[in-house]
Amino acid sequence: DGRVKAFSQLLEALGARPFLCDASAHDRAVAYLSHLPQLLSTGLASLIAEQSAEDFLPLELAASGFRDVTRLAESPYALWRDICLTNIENIQSALELLIEKLQAVKLHLSDRELEREFKQALKLRERLRKLK
């Protein structure tokens, strides 16, 4: 369709990378690539807020990695409430798989399987770096 092509060209001129897919593929993808990172950041920041209040975790020890991972926790709740409500099934599925992955990481803290997780994560980061 000519309108889609023209709109895609406009987006490219603005620096975006248009990607065409159907609505269900989009909703599943953004559950993993956008919504899951937001909820992970929010959950981690909330956990640390609770722990620092209960156990006096000195936040002064938080370095750039912690700040990077929790940056998304500054996002407005009203926006994310609506996003979560409109994509709840995909987000719940993504959270379930993340919980399973974290359980596996926990299980393998003292063995070589943990190295496999790190290597797999590094490969993903390398792929992402090439996309820019």
Domain ranges of the chain: 23-100
DSSP designation for 32: I
- Which of the listed CATH numbers 1.10.1200.10, 1.10.287.130, 1.20.1250.20, 1.10.3660.10 matches domain 23-100? 1.10.3660.10
Residue 109 contacts by C-beta under 8 Å, 6 or more apart in sequence? none
Both structure tokens of 131: 């996309």
Spans of the chain, pLDDT less than 50: none
Q: Determine the pLDDT at residue 115.
A: 95
Instruction: Indicate the pTM of the whole model.
Output: 0.86
Q: Determine the pLDDT at residue 74.
A: 98
Task: Using the Cα atoms of residue 8, residue 13, residue 19 and residue 22 in order, give the sign of their dihedral.
Answer: negative
Q: Determine the pLDDT at residue 11.
A: 94
Q: Determine the pLDDT at residue 54.
A: 78
